[in-house]
Amino acid sequence: MSSMTPSSKADDARHEIAETIRKDLAAAYRLIAHMGMDDSIFTHISARLPGDDEHFLLNPYGYRFDEVTASNLVTVSHEGTVLADPVGHGINQAGFTIHSAVHSARPDVVCVLHTHTVAGVAVSCLEEGLLSLNQWAMEFHGRVAYHDYEGIALSLDERQRLIADLGDKPVMILRNHGLLVCGRSVGEAFRRMFNLERACQAQLAIMASGGTIIKPDEALCEFTARQYEGWEAQHEAGGSDPEWAAFLRQAKKVAPDFDQ
């Protein structure tokens, strides 16, 4: 007969979920680095920890993405208090501004992933933004928010405008800056950024080709976006994500110490 109380069982379950999130987040950092989507020690991926407390994980300031492990992630509160800092490097204030804004306003979001890739920054500088020209881009049709550039995100005042512009969208293009995606899990956020990055790369290649562009109609773009949502809902609800599992295998191959 088990001697565990309901509260201790709940604590154990939260701990197990937190450890999975921690390892998934470290894997996402390593994969972003492996795919060349990082930017020196800048940009961030954050993940909300389970429980009543408003805490999330960030990479330690000064660490490249290819140096992040599950054990060196920093735990920070939504107010900016560093609660656990295994390597003593603290966090990047600009990263805290953006990520704390999203986590405080969107309880549905577990993971926020932000990049400064050449393709993403280029599309963020286009007045028309992301165009629904191909299957990757159609995933985000009608689901992209935009936030005007205000300089490096060091002012906490910007958080309210970030939140207002994001609304309930899963993706936001930060004008003249880069890309941001939200996910109900680390895996979902990573998949979205993987496709968003390729959509941006494809758009720039199409625009540079000089050829006649085939523009899918609105109904087809919306239909395709809903197909993506149906696949995501099926796998997120079931707790089984075959694409993220494949990416985790890749992370273990290219960065075997990510989960340490």
Residue-wise pLDDT tens digits, 199-237: 999 999 999 999 999 999 999 999 999 999 998 888 765
Q: What pLDDT does residue 181 have?
A: 98
Domain span at residue 237 reads: 13-254
Q: pTM for this structure? A: 0.93
Query: For residue 4, is it within any domain?
Result: no
User: In Å, what is the CA distance from 172 to each residue of 96, 102, 115, 181?
Assistant: 17, 11, 11, 6
Query: For residue 102, is it within any domain?
Result: yes
pLDDT digits 0-9 by tens, 70-92:
999 999 998 889 999 999 999 99
Separation CA 211–CA 228 (nearest Å): 28
Query: For residue 58, is it within any domain?
Result: yes
Query: For residue 1, is it within any domain?
Result: no
Q: How many domains does the chain have?
A: 1
Place of tokens 């993987």: 194
Separation CA 242–CA 254 (nearest Å): 19
Query: For residue 34, is it within any domain?
Result: yes
Query: For residue 217, is it within any domain?
Result: yes
Residue 24 belongs to domain with CATH number:
3.40.225.10
Query: For residue 190, is it within any domain?
Result: yes
Query: For residue 168, is it within any domain?
Result: yes
Q: What pLDDT does residue 52 have?
A: 72
Q: What pLDDT does residue 13 have?
A: 81
